[in-house]
Structure 1
Amino acid sequence: MSEPHTHATHPEIVKRLKRAEGHLKSVIAMIESGKPCLDIAQQLSAVEKAITNAKRTLIQDHLDHCLDETVGPLNRDQRHSIDEFKTIAKYL
C-alpha cells in the first residue's frame, strides 16, 4: 500500500469543496422549491466556479511539487520549458 499523497493546499481544497457541496445542496433545494431559473443558474455558476478553482489549485500544486520531484535538476533551457508549461497550465 502506498503512503498518503498530500500537499499543503489539500486542507484548503477540501474546505472549498465542502463549501461547494453545501452550496450545491442549497441549489437543489432551490430547484425543489420552485425558485426562478435565473436565480438557480446564477447559483449553479457559483458552484461550478468553486469546483473549477479547487481543481485548478490541485493541478497547479501537483505541477509545482510532483513534477519538480520527478524531473529533478535541469539546465536553464530545460527549466524554462518546465516553467512555461506550469504557467500555461494555469489557463486550463
Structure 2
Amino acid sequence: MVGDEEAISAVLNRLRRAQGQLTGVISMIEQGRDCKDVVTQLAAVSRALDRAGFKIVATGLRECIADGDGADGKREMSVDELEKLFLALA
C-alpha cells in the first residue's frame, strides 16, 4: 500500500471507525446492555474490519498488476498467495 495515499487514508478511516465501534461494544457489555444490541454493534465492527482488509488486498492486487514486471525490486505475489489473503478475510 506504499504510495497510494488515498487507499491508505480510506483504510485508516475504516480502522478508526472500527476502533470507535469496538470501544462502544466494550462499554455496552460493561453496562450490561441487551445481547441483541451488543451483537448488532459487534457485527458492524466485524464488517468494518473486513472492508479494511478487502481494501488492503484490493490495493495490493492493483499494485501487483501495475508492477507486473517486478522491475522495482518487489516480488510479485503468486495466485496461491493472493488466494490465501482473500481466504484469510472470509
Name the TM-score, length of structure 1 as normaliser: 0.69
What is the one-letter code of the residue matched to 1:5?
Answer: V
Identical-pair percentage: 30
The partner residue of 1:5 within 2, 5, 15 is 2
Cα drift, residue 9 of structure 1: 0.3
Displacement after TM superposition at 1:51 (Å)? 0.4
| Partner Cα distance (2:65, 2:30) in 1 | 45
Matches within 5 A, 1:18-57: 18-57=16-55
Q: TM-score with structure 2 length normalisation?
A: 0.71
Partner residue, 1:76: none
- Structure 1, gaps ≥5 residues long: 73-81
Q: State the Cα deviation string for residues 24-56 of structure 1 (Å, max 9, x = none).
A: 000000000000111100100000000000100
SS of residue matched to 1:5: coil
Q: Distance in 2 between matches of 1:21 and 1:6?
A: 24
- What amino acid is the match of 2:2? H
Give the greater-gyration-radius structure (CA).
Answer: 1
Instruction: Specify every segment of 5 or more residues in structure 2 that has no aligned partner in the other structure, as ranges.
Output: 70-78
The count of corresponding residues between Structure 1 and Structure 2 is 74
Which residue in the other structure is 1:78 paired with? none
